[in-house]
Amino acid sequence: MGLDDSDDPSNEPGSPEEETTAQAELSSASQSESSAQPPASHLTNGDSQPDDASDSADPSQSIEDMLLEFDDQKGLIRERALLDPNYVVEEDRIVGRDRQLQEVTKMLRVALGDNRPPNLFLYGPSGTGKSLITKAVCHNISRICKSRDIQFGTIEVNCQDLDTLGIAVYELVQQAADEAGVAVEVPKHGVATKEKWDELYRIVNEHFDSVVFVLDELDMLVGRRDKQVPAFSRLLYQLSRAGTNDDLNAYISVVAISNDTKMMESVGSRAVSSFTPEDVHFDDYDADQLQSILRRRQDAFHEDVVDDAVIPLAAAFAAQTHGDARKAIDLMRVAGELAEREGDTRVREEHVRTAQAKVEKNRVLEVVRGISTQKKLCLYATAAVASQTDSGSARSTTGYRVYQYLTDAIDADQYHQETYVNKMKELTTYSLVDFERRSHGPSSGMFLEFQFGERPETILETLREDSRIEAVSEDEVNSVVKAQIRNQT
């Protein structure tokens, strides 16, 4: 019996555990500090610090006081859900996606009757409405089906943080159980993946007439490296075959969502023949569309607290990074929260600019925390080159030589240039970097040129939070980069 394939060791060199160590050190420091303070139970609201405290002139403020003080403030944000990019909004708030909305609706609407909807492949850059439209259509189908006594379910998983096929199937089981309001009867680990599939089929057959499986960011589900076919291909094959193999009695449709326009090229031939999706393409939002999206969510704030320059500026920032509506909405949310914390009466342009720097860094931090040390080194070397070029891009040949310097400096394993390039290509799935094949004349040969979706300086600053990279002199790296750029042919 084949066991769950979720416990495979990584082939990458061991990643540092600096976050765990830092947390342990922080915990130790907190305990030491707390032992020097009087017990909390001895303090009452309004008590002053002991006479030897450095701020003894100021009365202390309890947690309850601070909470109630904030509660008494009017605040600027009226409905925070509207500033959540994942919130299912009303149809009139969906902007610039009329064609895609019609296509998805027309193809999935057959779930309202006794028919199986087609499978769909929704592709395009991040933040262009793929998940939003799918959720909106499925939400409306569910509402209508309920009135017709049809048991319709939407089983959605985001594959970005799922390592293997076994983990992905269990996540589908968990989501199906949550949708049906029942308990899962198989463990997450220690059983064959087939038992998880059987549990998924049981829940769906017992509780649903029709189901749409939504597999968001499906291309991120690569799975174990010793498998010839990527995990997302095996997942598509199994789900799309379940109906024809009589494993599922319910009508099912699989909606695969990806930022990678070429994902289907990596799907195995058997999966392609059984999946056979209808394609729906989503292109970038332009600045005008982003402004319209934000204006339709402006009522998330109280009336007349958002300066006129705020929405155009947030839209302009988001338009610079592939027209990402998620980023535009996040900018508005963070700007509003910054203004509230500062006690300002309005959301102003300076709050958006501060939010832009914060959101950009947070996004990069979220990505780089989850990648291996080798990918961090590749990314750092390439961003260091891009930060010093007029075009803001980096040749793969130059980036590799800086990568060699970094691995020597920290005594890390050093891979060949082909592996360096492949790791950089893998990072394109995070929308941090993109590449084009270039040639600067007959003598230079062919090379890849990497461009960054975020400022290279932000990536460098974030990566230096890794203690191993921080140990390398920033000035020395810059000197190596400048020397290598001069040597470019």
Task: Return binding residues for ATP.
Answer: 128-132, 285, 297
CB 245 within 8 A of CB 205: no
Residue 159 has which token pair?
């594959």
Establish how many alpha carbons lie within 13 A of residue 297's alpha carbon, considering only the half-sphere containing its beta carbon: 31
The two three-digit tokens of residue 192, written as one number: 């064959």
Return the structure tokens found at 434.
């993109």
Spatial distance between the Cα atoms of 357 and 350, rounded to a whole number of angstroms: 11
Nearest to 74 by CA among 321, 392, 304, 322: 304
Cα–Cα distance measured from residue 51 to residue 200, given in angstroms and rounded to the nearest whole number: 64
Residue with tokens 């832009």, as numbered in its chain? 356
Q: Return the ∠ at Cα 88 (arms to 369 and 319), rounded to 5°.
A: 60
Dist. CA 81–CA 74, nearest whole Å: 18
Name the β-bridge partners of 158: 216
Q: Side chain identity at 249, as an amino acid letter?
A: N
DSSP-H helix ranges across 155-218: 165-180, 193-207
Residues placed in the known binding site: 128-132, 285, 297
Contacts of 247 (CB under 8 A, 6+ apart): 197, 201, 241
